[in-house]
Homo-oligomer: A and B are copies of this chain.
Amino acid sequence: MSLSAMQAHVARDEVKTSLVVDILTQKFGERCSRSKAMCEQHGHTTTWLPNQAPDAVVFVESTEEAADVVRVCAEHKVPVIPFGTGSSLEGHVNAPGGGISLDLSNMNKILQVNAEDLDCRVEAGVTRKQLNSYLRDTGLFFPIDPGADASIGGMAATRASGTNAVRYGTMKDAVLGLTIVTPTGEIIHTGGRARKSAAGYDLTRMYVGSEGTLGVITELTIRLYGQPEAISGGVCPFPDIESACNAVIATIQCGVPVARIELLDTMQVKACNIYSKLDLEEKPTLFLEFHGSDAGVREQAEMFGSIAEDFGGGEFKWATQAEERTKLWTARHDAYWASFTLKPGSKGVATDVCVPISRLAECVTDSMTDLEEAGLLATIVGHVGDGNFHVLILVDEADEAEVAKAEGFVERLNWRAIELEGTCTGEHGVGQGKMKYLQREHGGGLDVMRSLKMALDPDNIMNPGKIVKVS
């Protein structure tokens, strides 16, 4: 499959790698695994890109152990690939040059919750669902929700966000401080617990979204929020994509602090109706959620209702009961899996463009025309308050012509978004899959990124072959 052409070549040295694996086996015993199944599972994710297995997987239990692994690898210039839960989508954990997969899933302790400061400190392997169950009785919650039950460390590494970024921001906003193992195996701390700081370069934001290519995130201090007093939500169908997008623009301009505002295209609604046993009208539909006081959420919903009416939307179906709401949002979260009901046995190719919200309707409708012309079947869901949407193309892997069509579509979509002053990735990250779009998106900025990478990881051992190519 030609998608492997996206994968950067990374040199490997069998002798050194084998030596490093021996040293790590001696140090970590059974926690250093070279079993084929384990390595393959760690060389792949929910991505569409071909598997590239590491030579061994080491399960570390502390920052010091992670630093120890990196030091051994650094000494012999062998790649280190940090691994959380493996839910990334762009081949972030593939090991194109072999090396060591550094599995942080056992670093899953919640170290400190500071209710007064609305923050907490966690190890990188803590997952967002684990954290939220732990927080349930404190009245606090961690809002960032990328769908998958990803590790918080992995979410920071890929600058993840999801359905409620429109209100609560992305991992860029959620992280206050980090513990990092540098490419030489030093342990450093960035940021702190102060809400804001102007004390020098923003290293925290430099590591957030660096996808393990500048160091390993082992601990995080992150922001929490008070659980809203009231939550309400519902769904609202629109005659077309444009009206739905215009309603979203008006909603945000009016300052309605909507917590979630998600677009599902007609195909996606169809798929959700089948998969999640809903009976939604088969039209472009917004899923909404409001957080606030009782009076506040009522007011927000009323304001949205009247805006929706102006744009031909309706009827706005309320989900006042928690179960109804859970059913709807479970359906939204299962949208990915629901899509396959439209073409059983197919593989999904996910995309992730994000454009200024004023260009969203244009970008979505042009892409729908493009899909139709290419004869591809796809569903679309969008974090539409941010201008971010995902086309999931359903492809028969055995059909080479269809695969080629899908690849062509993905390319055109990414160029289209960049033309519209947007980005090829709103929240999935670059990994291997998006590297080829960065030159056009960043121009000379890509050289600055390369300088950063070369300054901080001159031997290119940290997750090589991702984000930027270095010689």
Contact = CB atoms under 8 A, between A and B. Distances in A.
Interface string A408-446: 000000000000011111111110001001100111111
A62 to B, nearest CB: 17
A190 interface: yes
A429 B295 contact: no
B198 A425 contact: yes
Interface string A136-171: 000100000000000000000011110001000110
Contacts of A358: 114, 116-117
B197 A445 contact: no
A169 B196 CA distance: 9
A198 B158 contact: yes
A193 B295 contact: no
A195 B357 contact: yes
Interface string A171-208: 01100000000100011111011111111111101101
A416 to B, nearest CB: 13
Give the copy number. 2
Given A188-B445, A358-B116, A455-B455, A199 B423 contact: yes
Contacts of A387: 194-195
A397 interface: no
A293 to B, nearest CB: 6
Nearest to A437: B199
Contacts of A296: 296, 299
B422 A192 contact: yes
A356 interface: yes
A354 interface: yes
A117 B249 CA distance: 8
Interface stretch (A222-230, A274-282, A312-320, A368-376): A222-230
A470 interface: no
Interface in A110-146: 114-119, 139
A468 B199 CA distance: 11
Contacts of A426: 194-198
Given A225-B255, A257-B257, A451-B455, A200 B193 contact: no
B254 A195 contact: no
Contacts of A205: 172, 202, 205-206
A72 interface: no
A351 interface: no
A291 to B, nearest CB: 8
Interface string A221-239: 0000110110000000000
Contacts of A430: 198-200
A118 B388 contact: no
A198 B425 CA distance: 5
Contact of A443 (B169, B189, B214): B189
Contacts of A468: 200
Given A189-B443, A253-B116, A358-B116, A206 B201 contact: yes
A421 B456 CA distance: 26
Nearest to A421: B193
From A210, A253, A292, A387, name the one whose CB has the most chain B CB atoms within 10 angstroms: A253
Nearest to A117: B356
Contact of A196 (B161, B206, B303): B161
Interface string A74-101: 0000000000000000000000000000
Nearest to A226: B255
Contact of A198 (B169, B201, B209, B448): B209
A32 interface: no
Contacts of A199: 423-425, 430, 434, 437-438, 441-442
A461 interface: no
A454 interface: yes
A182 B206 CA distance: 18
6 contacts: A159-B202, A161-B196, A200-B209, A226-B254, A295-B299, A451-B455
What 10 pairs between A and B have smallest CB-CB spacing? A455-B455, A205-B205, A116-B358, A188-B444, A197-B423, A194-B354, A193-B421, A195-B386, A159-B198, A117-B356
Given A186-B444, A189-B442, A296-B299, 6 more contacts: A116-B357, A194-B423, A195-B385, A196-B427, A200-B467, A451-B455
